[in-house]
C-alpha cells in the first residue's frame, strides 16, 4: 500500500461545479497535512494547510479525519483557473510524503 | 525576496557526464529537499537536509550526492549521468518539519 493515496482521476467538471478530492495516508502518527496544486510543467504551490478542526479559504475547504486517516479538499464554484493537479501531503518528523496527485480539468 | 532559486533551468547531458544542480533560498529555512518528478508520476524525494552541514537519504538516492555547506544552498550532484535520470528536478525548503515547503521552479534535465 502506498503511504499517501489519492483519487486516480482525472476529474472533468463544468464551470461552477463542486468537486471533492479524497486522500488517505497509511501512517497513523502523521502530524502535518497539506494540499498543493501543480500546474502543467510548473512547480507545486501550497494551496492550504489542513488542520484537525478543518479550514476554509474562500471556495476551498479542507478536512482531516484522523480516525479514518483521510484528508479531503472541496472546491466550490469551480473556475477555469482551477484546472491543475492537486497533491495531498502527509508528514511525520522529517518524512514528508506527497501523493501522486489528482488531475482536475474545469470545462467551459 | 526571490524565494527558492534553481540553476540551471534546462540542461542536456551525455551519458557518463557529471553535473551539479544548485538550489538557493533566501528565507532562512532550515530544511531543504531535492525531488525528481517523472511524467505522470508524483514527486519522489532524493535527498534532504535538516540544517547546515547535514544531509540524509530520501526515497531514491542512488546515483546522486548532495552537500549543504551553507544554510542557504543545497547542491545536488549527478556523479555519472544515466538516461534513467532524465527528469524534472525540484528543490524545496521549509522552516521546519511541520511547515509547508516552498518550491523552486525546477530544472529540466535530459540525458542522452
Which of A90, A64, A59, A70 minimizes the C-alpha distance to A23?
A: A70
How confident is the model over A60-94, as pLDDT tens digits? 999 999 999 999 999 999 999 999 999 999 988 77
Q: How confident is the model at residue B98 (pLDDT cuts 50, 70, 90)?
A: confident
Q: Per-residue pLDDT averaged across B75-98, rounded?
A: 95
pLDDT at res. B42: 85
The nearest alpha carbon in chain A to B94 belongs to A94
Position B1 pLDDT exceeds 90: no
The answer, for A34 touching chain B at a CB cutoff of 8 Å, is yes
B97–A87 CB contact, under 8 Å: no
A31–B41 CB contact, under 8 Å: no
Cell 480539468, residue located: A105
Question: Are the CB atoms for A26 and A102 separated by under 8 Å?
Answer: no
The mean of the pLDDT values for chain B is: 95
A91–B97 CB contact, under 8 Å: yes
The nearest alpha carbon in chain A to B57 belongs to A95
What is the per-residue DSSP string for A2-42? -SEEE----EEEETT--EEEEEEES-TT--EEEEEEE-TTS
Q: Per-residue pLDDT averaged across B47-59, rounded?
A: 95
- Percent of chain A with pLDDT strictly greater than 70: 99
How confident is the model over B21-36, as pLDDT tens digits? 999 999 999 999 999 9
* Burial tier of B48 (Cβ tally within 10 Å: 0-12, 13-18, 19+): buried
Amino acid at each position: 500500500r502506498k503511504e499517501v493515496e489519492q483519487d486516480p482521476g482525472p476529474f472533468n467538471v463544468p464551470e461552477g461545479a463542486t468537486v471533492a478530492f479524497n486522500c488517505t495516508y497509511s501512517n497513523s502518527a502523521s502530524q502535518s497535512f497539506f494540499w498543493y496544486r501543480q500546474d502543467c510543467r510548473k512547480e507545486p504551490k501550497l494551496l492550504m494547510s489542513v488542520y484537525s478542526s478543518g479550514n476554509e479559504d474562500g471556495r476551498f475547504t479542507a478536512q482531516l479525519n484522523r480516525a479514518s486517516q483521510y484528508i479531503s479538499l472541496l472546491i466550490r464554484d469551480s473556475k477555469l483557473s482551477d484546472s491543475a493537479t492537486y497533491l495531498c501531503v502527509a508528514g511525520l518528523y522529517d518524512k514528508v510524503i506527497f501523493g501522486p496527485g489528482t488531475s482536475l480539468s474545469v470545462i467551459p | 525576496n526571490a524565494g527558492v532559486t534553481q540553476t540551471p533551468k534546462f540542461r542536456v547531458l551525455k551519458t557518463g557526464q557529471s553535473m551539479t544542480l544548485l538550489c538557493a533560498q533566501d528565507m532562512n529555512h532550515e530544511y531543504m529537499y531535492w525531488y525528481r518528478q517523472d511524467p505522470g508520476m508524483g514527486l519522489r524525494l532524493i535527498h534532504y537536509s535538516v540544517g547546515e552541514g547535514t544531509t540524509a537519504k530520501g526515497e531514491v538516492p542512488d546515483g546522486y550526492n548532495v552537500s549543504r555547506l551553507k544554510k542557504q544552498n543545497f547542491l545536488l550532484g549527478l556523479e555519472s549521468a544515466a538516461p534513467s535520470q532524465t527528469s524534472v528536478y525540484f528543490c524545496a525548503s521549509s522552516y521546519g518539519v511541520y511547515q509547508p515547503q516552498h518550491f523552486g521552479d525546477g530544472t529540466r534535465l535530459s540525458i542522452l
